[in-house]
Structure formats: C-alpha cells, structure tokens
Amino acid sequence: MHELLREGLSSRLWLMIPPEGGTPTVRCPFGFFLSPFAEPSTVSHHATVEITPAAVSDAPALTGMLPDELAEELASWDEPRYRASQILDWVFQKRASSYDAMTSLSKPLRARLAATHPLHTMHIAKVQGAKDATQKFLFKLHDGRYVESVLIPANRNAFGDMSDRRTICVSSQVGCAYDCKFCASGLAGFTRNLRADEIVEQILAVEAHSGERIDNVVFMGMGEPLANFTQLTRAIRIIQAEWGIGIGARHITVSTSGLAPQIKKLADFPLPVRLALSFHGATDEVRDVIMPVNRKYPIDVLFDALTYFRDRKKQKITLEYILIESVNDQPEHAAALARRARSIHAKVNLIPYNTVEGLPWARPSEPAQDAFLAILETAGVPATIRREKGHDIDAACGQLRLKQELSEV
C-alpha cells in the first residue's frame, strides 16, 4: 500500500511513498508530462539520482539576487562592493557548489554569506530518462513541495531532426490556478509562486547534472508564469545576464494561458523575450468552455494585448493549439484560427491532445489533424504539427519538443 502525502493532495502532485521509505514515485499533474515517475514501465531508459538533503532554511537563495542588491548588502557589512561580482562569478561562472569552495573570499565572509543566503534551497529528488533522451527532473523545494523541469536533448527538435540546442522547460509555480479543462494541472489547485531563485536553480541544477550548458528556456512547466510576474522577470534577468546564466532573452519563451494585462506588461519589460499563447480555441464560444481565463480576458481583449506585444517586441508570436476531438478540431475552428493567426502574423503549433487520465478528452484521428493543418496552410498561416510516436518518456513530451522549436531562433 502507498501513502498519499499531504502536500500531494494540496498541490495535486501525486507523490506515492512506499511505507518502507523506498523511492517515491510521482504523478506529475501536467498533461504533457504524463506521470513519468509513476510509470517506469513506460520508460525505455531511466536513471535515478540519489536524494541529497535540502537546506531547510526558507530564506531565498543567493541565486535570486541581482548584483546591486548583493553589493548593497556587502557594503552594509563593510565589504567592498566589487565582492558582489566576485561572488556572482563563483556562483554562475565557476559554478561553485558551496561557499567553502569560494577560496578567494575570506572565511568569515563565506560564513556570513552562508548564514544569510543559502546557496541552494532545493535539490533534485529524482531524474528520469537517459542522458541522450528527454530527461525529467523532480525537485524538492525547501517547504517539501515538488516541481519538475524537463531537459530536451541537443539532438532532437520538434520534428525529430538534428539540432544543436538543449532546451529546458521550467516550472514557475507549484500547482496552477487557471483550471484549463484539458490540462492535468487544471485538476490541481494552486499552492504558491516559485521565487526567482527557485526558477534559476532549476536551470543551474540541470546544467550541473548534465554537465552541459542549456541553450533555450521555455516557461511551459507547471504554473502560469505571467501570474508570477515579479519573480518571473527577476528570474529572466538573472538567466539572460552575462554575469548570470547567460542564456539570451531571445532564447527564453514565456507561455501563457492568456493573461492580457500581463502580456502588455511583458511587452513593456525591456528584454526581448519570446511569447507563446496557449490558444486552443479561436472563438470565445470554444475557449470559454475549455479555458476559464477566457471569460475574464476574451479573445478580442487578448488579441489587443498580443498586438501590443508584437508591436513592442517586433517578433512573431506563437499560438499553441491543442487538437481535441469534437471540441476544437472542426474545419470552422481551423478557419477561425487562421483568421486570428493572420491578424497578428503569428505562427501556429498544433499539438494532438495528450490524453490525461480522468479527463474525457481525446485526440482527433490523423486524417482529421491533417485536414486541420491543411486549412491553415491554405490560408497562408505558418503552422506545424507534432505527433507522438509512442508512450515512452520522449513521446510523452510531444509538447515539449514544441517548446524546443519555439525557442530556436
């Protein structure tokens, strides 16, 4: 028998711990992650890393600080401000794993830093997937919550072609409040926002684990990134900075369910991040049903915000569109999607629906998918479709390959 953990219930991340205290398995709530940890039998290769104890402090980690903030604090300790860049160099360039390793700093300074700003507040609880395939990382946060990241390897892209890019799909919240009807995360309640350091740390930890640098970041993991705007944009600053992780803003894609005011805010954010909209319904009639957020920000309001974003950022927006049988897959839906896409010169990524246990939706047949795509193409809309080839760990992430493609520029 398994015991369902309390945090599993509230965050709806279904964590099953054997009573003997063996390795936990997890049912990830995102439809597109499809419970990889719960079903090792569906995974062709998998590796597990041992759990190391996490810091219990709830102070944010140093990895969420901006140089000026660190310099201010150091100045208040009577340390020269330039120590801030020394420290950040140890963290982001040399990737020091502890303050002790920062040998150019005095021991008292290292001790004071360690006492005030943990270097890490979370750790990898489990890794699944072979090194040359899509890997899923389960993180345990300081408060015992879990989030996931997915690393899509360099040699795959949305079409299975060779690519030299590594893409990470990161989470921005624990749980999600937006209740999209097709998404397993929608089954989940919202627990809390991630802090910037918890977003940054997903990338640092995955790079450390894989020993390779990541080229693209997509905010398509758990949560609604634009509902966590302050921490999201702080994390983006750190991720793209030369003094930080150094992944340029053009290689960072924020995906949203359609928070119109925050889309405008992101348009005014000075860095050239990319935007993907989880559209999934091109009329209010359809979208109201499957995405409750549409009742707050209907399509006209949303497209005003998208137009504003496009004009400010001068870049193509991607419309993600999950094909769900009898819900949004009819020719008239394709025609409406084509009209909307053309109105903002967007490209469209079609994603055959990934079945989620407990939800009634199904994907259309391949001929129906092709017919839908053909309508977009005839209307002159740049569109792609990705199909899963099976149910192993890679295929379960059909959408994640999309995410790689999204951020390839």
> Which residues are at the interface with ligand SAH (CB under 6 A)?
30-32, 180, 182-183, 220, 224, 255-257, 278, 320, 322, 351, 353-354, 356, 399
Tell the smallest beta-carbon distance from residue 182 to ligand SAH (Å).
5
Separation of alpha carbons 282 and 333, rounded Å: 7
Tell the smallest beta-carbon distance from residue 350 to ligand SAH (Å).
10
Separation of alpha carbons 317 and 278, rounded Å: 11
Tell the smallest beta-carbon distance from residue 129 to ligand SAH (Å).
18
Separation of alpha carbons 171 and 399, rounded Å: 15
Q: In terms of CB distance, is 128 or 349 closer to ligand SAH?
A: 349
Active site residue 180: no
Separation of alpha carbons 183 and 90, rounded Å: 40
Q: In terms of CB distance, is 92 or 321 closer to ligand SAH?
A: 321
Query: Which DSSP category does 397 fall into?
Result: G
Tell the smallest beta-carbon distance from residue 353 to ligand SAH (Å).
5
User: Which residues lie below 8 Å from residue 159, measured CB to CB, with a gap of 6+?
Assistant: 384, 386, 405
Tell the smallest beta-carbon distance from residue 74 to ligand SAH (Å).
36
Identity at 357, one-letter amino acid code: E
Q: In terms of CB distance, is 133 or 397 closer to ligand SAH?
A: 397
Q: In terms of CB distance, is 29 or 129 closer to ligand SAH?
A: 29
252-256 and 135-140 beta bridge pairing: unpaired
Q: Please tell me which residue in 28, 180, 397, 405 is annotated as part of the active site.
A: 397
Q: Does residue 245 sit in helix, strand or coil? A: coil
Q: Does residue 42 sit in helix, strand or coil? A: helix
Minimal CB distance to ligand SAH: which residue?
31
Separation of alpha carbons 35 and 57, rounded Å: 29
75: enclosing H helix or E strand: helix 67-76
Query: How many residues does the structure list for the chain?
Result: 409
Active site residue 148: yes
Q: In terms of CB distance, is 24 or 175 closer to ligand SAH?
A: 175
User: 192 - beta bridge partners?
Assistant: 174
Query: Which DSSP category does 177 fall into?
Result: S
Q: In terms of CB distance, is 113 or 222 closer to ligand SAH?
A: 222
CA distances from 309 to 112, 264, 375, 381 (A): 43, 6, 26, 19
Tell the smallest beta-carbon distance from residue 148 to ligand SAH (Å).
12
**Integer distance in angstroms from the first to the last C-alpha of the chain?**
48
Separation of alpha carbons 404 and 274, rounded Å: 13
Residue pointed to by tokens 């996490």: 54
Separation of alpha carbons 181 and 72, rounded Å: 46
Tell the smallest beta-carbon distance from residue 186 to ligand SAH (Å).
8
Q: Please tell me which residue in 79, 148, 388, 405 is annotated as part of the active site.
A: 148
Q: In terms of CB distance, is 216 or 278 closer to ligand SAH?
A: 278
Tell the smallest beta-carbon distance from residue 95 to ligand SAH (Å).
28
One DSSP character per residue, 313-340 reads H-SPPEEEEEE-TTTT-SHHHHHHHHHH
One DSSP character per residue, 275-297 reads EEEE---SSHHHHHHH-THHHHS
Q: In terms of CB distance, is 43 or 220 closer to ligand SAH?
A: 220
Catalytic residues: 148, 397
